Amino acid sequence: MILVVDLCWKKNSLSRPEFVDPVASALRKAGAEIKVLHYSELTSDRSSKQLYRDLLECDGAVLCGTAIQDNFYAVEMDKFSWIKDHNYRKPLLGICAGMQVIASAFGGKIIPRPAIGMEKVDIIKDTELLGEPRQIEGYHLHSYGATVPKGFHLVAGFYHKADAFVHERRPIYGLIFHPEVRNRWILQKFMELVPNH
Active-site positions read 96, 178, 180
Which helix (DSSP H) or strand (DSSP E) does residue 146 occupy?
strand 134-146
Told to check if 71 binds other proteins by CB under 8 A, we report: yes
- Per CB under 8 A, the list member of 10, 53, 134, 160 interacting with other proteins is 10
In the complex with other proteins, which residue's Cβ is closer, 141 or 194?
Answer: 141
Residue 16 C-alpha from the chain's centroid: 15
**Is 3 in contact with 58 (CB distance < 8 Å)?**
yes
CB-side neighbour CA atoms (13 Å) of 121: 27
Told to check if 50 binds other proteins by CB under 8 A, we report: no
Told to check if 68 binds other proteins by CB under 8 A, we report: yes
In the complex with other proteins, which residue's Cβ is closer, 127 or 147?
Answer: 147
In the complex with other proteins, which residue's Cβ is closer, 141 or 148?
Answer: 141
Told to check if 18 binds other proteins by CB under 8 A, we report: yes
Give the whole-angstrom CA distance, residue 129 versus residue 190.
6
Ranges within 77-136 binding other proteins (CB under 8 A): 110, 112, 114, 116-118
- Per CB under 8 A, the list member of 125, 161, 170, 182 interacting with other proteins is 182
- Using alpha carbons, select from 113, 91, 112 the residue that is nearest to residue 102: 91
Told to check if 75 binds other proteins by CB under 8 A, we report: yes
Told to check if 48 binds other proteins by CB under 8 A, we report: no
User: Which residues are paired to 130 by β-bridges?
Assistant: none
Cα-Cα-Cα-Cα dihedral of 156, 161, 162, 167, to 10°?
130
Output the CA angle 127-132-134, nearest 5 degrees.
125
Which residue stretch of 17-25, 54-62, 83-91, 149-157 sits at the interface with other proteins (rule: CB under 8 A)?
17-25
Which residue stretch of 44-52, 62-70, 87-95, 121-129 sits at the interface with other proteins (rule: CB under 8 A)?
62-70
User: Which residues are paired to 46 by β-bridges?
Assistant: none
Give the whole-angstrom CA distance, residue 97 versus residue 64.
7
Which residues sit at the interface with other proteins, rule CB under 8 A? 9-12, 14-18, 21-22, 25, 67-72, 74-75, 110, 112, 114, 116-118, 139, 141, 143-144, 180-182
